[in-house]
């Protein structure tokens, strides 16, 4: 019987290094984002092939508003094109599109594209394509805390009954399995406000490769590396 460490259901990615990839080629930064979008669907194809149910992608953080307006505009334009290009494919493959983060601050056009993708795929269950947009994990935890406090205030929840599951239930990931593997590209070894609660027992891989250069072969190698890991969850190894 498969134990926890033999299954890989949920991969979370921090797609980093688009700007440096472009700079290396004397291109404007936004062309790094354009090329980066091409890797997204390829990565998702690998997930499907390896029967990984959920792919969570960090596409825009709450801190990314600190960037030049033109870069932000390009980024959202590329994301819109991505969804327009791939929505039919998601429908064919039974992929549910999910978004995490406060999308109300996104350009209206982007919000419309996302709403349509979500509506058209809401009943699918084969795979989940979960994209973090205007997402910040600290903000997500503040939101969860407020919701829980409100339930207590309204007499719907007893303080004594608050546990780890209560918090999980109030996160954007409430309907998803735990993150098994988190990969960050581009050599930065930090979380940058990503899934602070959800990554408690995930395996981490940090690779030097810039996201636009992160091809199927390297992703597959990361997945193979995951299966070599010994997830002990504070207990003792089950490996012989
Ligand atoms: C990741 O690449 C994409 C986003 C954050 C939107 P970057 O744009 O951060 O690329 P670098 O880190 O500057 O190279
Ligand atoms: C994290 O990358 C956010 C995304 C990949 C969307 P950043 O490039 O924004 O993070 P820092 O600034 O290096 O921490
Ligand atoms: Mg970066």
Ordered domains of the chain (ranges, CATH): 4-136+178-228 (3.40.1180.10)
Active site residue 163: no
pLDDT at position 239 is 73
* Average pLDDT score over residue span 17-42: 98
Residue 3 has pLDDT above 90, yes or no: no
Which pLDDT does position 240 carry in this prediction?
62
Cβ of 59 closer than 6 Å to ligand 2, yes or no, is: yes
Distance CA 15, CA 36 (A): 8
CA distance 180 to 120: 28
Average pLDDT over residues 107-136: 98
Output the CA 102–ligand 3 centroid distance in Å: 20
In the residue annotation, 193 being an active-site residue is answered as no
Quick: pLDDT tens for 45-77. Answer: 999 999 999 999 999 999 999 999 999 999 999
Alpha-carbon distance of 70 to 81, in angstroms, equals: 17
Q: Please report which ligand is nearest the Cα atom of 190.
A: 2
Atom nearest to 22 CA in ligand 1: 14
Mean pLDDT, the chain, as a whole number? Answer: 96
Burial of 157 (0-12, 13-18, 19+ CB in 10 A): middle
Q: How far is CA 89 from the centre of its chain?
A: 19
pLDDT at 6: 66
Indicate if the alpha-carbon torsion angle 35, 36, 39, 40 is positive or negative: negative
- The pLDDT score that the predictor gives to residue 238 is 78
Nearest C-alpha to atom 8 of ligand 2 is from which residue? 16
Give burial (CB, 10 Å; 0-12/13-18/19+) of 123: exposed
Contact 186, 209 (CB under 8 A): yes
Calpha distance 147→141 (Å, rounded) = 10
**pTM exceeds 0.85 for this model:** yes
Residue 97 · residue 131 · CB < 8 Å: yes
pLDDT of amino acid 2 = 41
Position 5 pLDDT exceeds 90: no
Question: In the structure, what pLDDT confidence band is assigned to residue 186 with cuts at 50, 70 and 90?
Answer: very high
pLDDT digits 0-9 by tens, 139-152: 999 999 999 999 99
pLDDT at position 134 = 98
Do the bridges between strand 10-14 and strand 181-184 make them parallel or antiparallel, or are there none, so unpaired?
Answer: parallel
Q: Which helix (H) or strand (E) holds 175?
A: none
Please state the rounded mean pLDDT for residues 112-125. 98
């Amino acid at each position: 019987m498969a134990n926890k460490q033999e299954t890989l259901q949920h991969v979370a990615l921090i797609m980093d290094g688009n700007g440096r990839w472009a700079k290396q080629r004397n291109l404007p930064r936004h062309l790094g984002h354009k090329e980066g979008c091409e890797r997204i669907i390829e990565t998702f194809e690998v997930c499907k092939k390896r029967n990984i149910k959920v792919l969570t992608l960090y596409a825009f953080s709450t801190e990314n508003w600190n960037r030049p307006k033109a870069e932000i505009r390009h980024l959202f334009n590329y994301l819109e094109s991505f969804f327009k290009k791939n929505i039919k494919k998601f429908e064919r493959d039974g992929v549910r599109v999910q978004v995490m983060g406060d999308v109300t601050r996104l350009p209206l056009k982007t919000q419309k594209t996302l709403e349509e993708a979500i509506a058209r795929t809401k009943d699918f269950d084969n795979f989940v394509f979960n994209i973090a947009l205007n997402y910040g994990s600290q903000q997500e935890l503040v939101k969860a805390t407020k919701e829980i406090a409100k339930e207590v205030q309204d007499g719907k929840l007893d303080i004594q009954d608050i546990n780890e599951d209560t918090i999980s239930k109030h996160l954007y990931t409430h309907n998803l399995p735990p993150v098994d593997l988190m990969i960050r590209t581009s050599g930065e070894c930090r979380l940058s406000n990503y899934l602070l609660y959800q990554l408690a027992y995930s395996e981490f891989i940090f690779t030097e490769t810039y996201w636009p250069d992160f091809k199927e072969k390297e992703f597959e190698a990361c997945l193979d590396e995951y299966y070599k890991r010994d997830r002990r969850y504070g207990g003792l190894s089950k490996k012989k």
